[in-house]
């Protein structure tokens, strides 16, 4: 049976006990006081959007399919201000384009089979069924209230959640004493990077009600990284991204194992990587650590090989920020020295090696303060067993404090990394003040060099004159002096990222 519904008025109570097809664009609007009930065994297909006014009621015990057609929209917007449960039925979002979802109410089951589902509010669901398309949470959360392991499901065609995942923040309620495994299919806009809590029932975590997970960019760089585990030093944290696993409370006890799937990660070597943790709010490499009481599987075991497609760490008792670190690889090559020295407006990198057996090439990386390392250039290895000296000039170095690292690569693509070396390249700020002499309550400064962070106008007796500045353009500021001081000479100081620069100005 098919029929068209353009607007359901406040006085209408509509019970659907047969198959119904609603055709139209933005064609189902349920006004305040109206009730729509889809009974068990009934399917309602809406070829357009659904808008629910505040104080309307939508009960679903069957299947409500919201289908987007070409060049249309098909969203669900619920403007309720008092939350209720829709019922035990399911909502299916499908079609070739993106759809949006806004509601404070409780869903039993939401199925995603489209290009994107954009959340415009926190969405509470007992079961998420992911087939095709990302769930983009933005600043909101996709919440799973059901603590069952199967409360987040992948369709048979969505192997490993590679076709449909949560791009953003996923919160799962957990019962570790009863459920052994929870999957968190989180990722970014391009791919999924699944996180999985495992082996929970062996020694159940206590004091935790839910875990909130996301995957995102690594903050900061590897300056200060100092982790040694079982005699192996970690050289770097993979730049592809990090996982955030945050519990609502610190565990009172218990343990869990963690699997992190490194989809899209490069430069990992068998038995040469492991999961590291730092506090959730940290951006400092010095805070990365192998959590106390935890352990990696033995070499060659699942979670230690690249072919496994995941890293594993057992017996964790804490949450926070997790990443995959790479350990230093032992190569025949011996790095005797590596240095970076400022020379004029350039930085000269020098390194000396010995025993270059099977060595392919060297890669140079650099980074500014608190920024990830970026590839700079490559130099072919001499490939000799004798001592070799190398030199490379970075003709356009980063300004301020910078870091360089050398990557030494074998012909079989095994590699090791040098320690980071630090260099400071100062960019002196120059500026021109006008008018000078100053005859009014304002003056201008054109400048080049580092960013201006503050200014001071100081009289010859050391007293500071009140003044403010505003940016006129990228390299010009206007200085305002509300109360013009006595005539005379004054020191104008510009405080920049590189230091303090000053000039004398005359006020007439």
Query: What is d(CA 295, CA 348) in angstroms, rounded to the nearest whole number?
Result: 41
- Strands, DSSP E only, in 61-175? 63-67, 76-78, 90-94, 98-102, 106-119, 123-144, 152-154, 166-173
Task: Look at residues 179, 181, 207, 210 and name the one whose alpha carbon lies nearest to residue 194.
Answer: 181
CATH code given to domain 430-507: 2.60.40.1220
The H-assigned helical ranges of 382-460 are none
Query: What is d(CA 418, CA 334) in angstroms, rounded to the nearest whole number?
Result: 11
Query: What is d(CA 244, CA 377) in angstroms, rounded to the nearest whole number?
Result: 32
Whether the predicted pLDDT of 171 surpasses 60:
yes
Measured CA angle at 368 (ends 329, 237), to 5 deg: 30
Domain with CATH 2.60.40.1220 in the chain: 430-507
Whether the predicted pLDDT of 24 surpasses 90:
no
pLDDT in tens, 442-494: 999 888 766 788 899 988 888 899 999 998 887 889 999 999 898 888 888 88
Query: What is d(CA 302, CA 420) in angstroms, rounded to the nearest whole number?
Result: 31
Domain range 334-425, CATH architecture:
Sandwich (2.60)
DSSP 336-389: EEEEEEEETTEEEEEEEEE--TTEEEEEEEEEETT---EEEEEEE----SS-EE
Percent share of the chain, pLDDT over 70: 93
pLDDT in tens, 31-56: 999 999 999 999 999 988 999 999 99
- The pLDDT value recorded for residue 449 is 66
Q: At which residue do the structure tokens 């987040």 appear?
A: 152
Query: What is d(CA 188, CA 400) in angstroms, rounded to the nearest whole number?
Result: 31
Domain with CATH 2.60.40.10 in the chain: 334-425
- The pLDDT value recorded for residue 80 is 97
* Predicted confidence band of residue 10 (pLDDT cuts 50, 70, 90): very low
**Entry pTM:** 0.73
pLDDT in tens, 182-192: 999 999 999 99
Query: What is d(CA 360, CA 295) in angstroms, rounded to the nearest whole number?
Result: 34
DSSP 175: -
- The pLDDT value recorded for residue 17 is 56
Question: What is the spatial order of strands in the sheet that 13-16 belongs to?
Answer: 13-16, 35-38, 57-60
Q: Find the range with the poorest average confidence among 23-37, 38-52, 237-251.
A: 23-37
Whether the predicted pLDDT of 365 surpasses 50:
yes
Measured CA angle at 396 (ends 393, 401), to 5 deg: 95
Q: Find the range with the poorest average confidence among 36-45, 127-136, 432-441, 446-455.
A: 446-455
């Amino acid at each position: 049976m098919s029929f068209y519904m353009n607007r359901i008025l406040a006085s209408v109570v509509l019970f659907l006990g047969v198959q119904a097809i609603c055709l139209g664009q933005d064609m189902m609007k349920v006004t305040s006081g109206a009730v729509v009930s889809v009974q068990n065994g009934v399917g309602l297909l809406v070829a357009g959007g659904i808008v629910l006014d505040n104080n309307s009621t939508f009960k679903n015990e069957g299947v409500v399919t919201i289908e987007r057609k070409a060049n249309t929209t098909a969203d669900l917007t619920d403007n309720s201000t008092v939350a209720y449960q829709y019922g035990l039925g399911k909502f299916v979002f499908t079609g070739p384009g993106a759809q949006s979802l806004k509601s404070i109410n409780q869903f039993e089951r939401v199925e995603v089979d489209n290009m994107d589902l954009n959340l415009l509010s926190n969405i509470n669901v007992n079961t998420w069924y992911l087939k095709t398309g990302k769930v983009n949470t933005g600043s909101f959360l996709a919440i799973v209230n059901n603590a069952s392991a199967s409360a987040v499901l992948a369709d048979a065609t969505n192997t490993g959640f590679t076709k449909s995942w949560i791009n953003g923040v996923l919160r799962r309620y957990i019962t570790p004493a009863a459920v052994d495994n929870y999957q968190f299919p989180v990722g970014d806009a391009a791919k999924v990077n699944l996180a999985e809590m495992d082996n929970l029932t062996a020694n159940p975590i206590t004091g935790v009600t839910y875990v909130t997970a996301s995957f995102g960019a690594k903050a900061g760089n590897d300056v200060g990284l100092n982790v040694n585990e079982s005699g192996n030093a970690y050289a770097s944290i993979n730049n592809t991204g990090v996982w955030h696993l945050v519990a609502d409370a610190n565990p009172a006890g218990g343990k869990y194992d963690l699997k992190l799937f490194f989809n899209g990660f490069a430069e990992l070597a068998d038995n040469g990587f492991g999961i590291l943790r730092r506090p959730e709010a940290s951006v400092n490499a010095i805070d990365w650590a192998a959590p106390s009481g935890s352990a990696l599987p033995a070499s060659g075991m699942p979670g230690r090989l690249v072919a496994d497609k995941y890293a594993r760490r057992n017996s964790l008792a804490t949450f926070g920020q997790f990443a995959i670190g790479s350990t230093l690889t032992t190569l025949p090559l011996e790095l005797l020295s590596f240095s970076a020295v400022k020379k004029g407006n350039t930085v000269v990198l020098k390194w000396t090696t010995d025993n270059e057996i099977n060595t392919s090439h060297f890669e140079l990386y650099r980074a500014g303060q608190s920024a990830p390392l970026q590839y700079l250039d490559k130099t072919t290895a001499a490939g000799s067993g004798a001592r070799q000296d190398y030199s490379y000039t970075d003709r356009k170095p980063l300004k301020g404090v910078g870091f360089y690292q050398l990557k030494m690569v074998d012909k079989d693509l095994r590699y090791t990394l040098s320690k980071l070396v630090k260099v400071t390249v100062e960019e002196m700020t120059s500026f021109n003040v006008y008018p000078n002499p100053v005859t009014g309550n304002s003056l201008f400064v054109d400048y080049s060099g580092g960013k201006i962070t503050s200014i001071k106008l100081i009289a010859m007796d050391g007293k500071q004159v009140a003044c403010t500045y505003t940016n006129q353009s990228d390299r010009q500021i206007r200085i305002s002096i509300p109360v013009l001081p006595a005539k005379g000479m004054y020191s104008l100081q510009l405080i920049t990222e590189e230091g303090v620069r000053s000039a004398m100005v005359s006020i007439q």
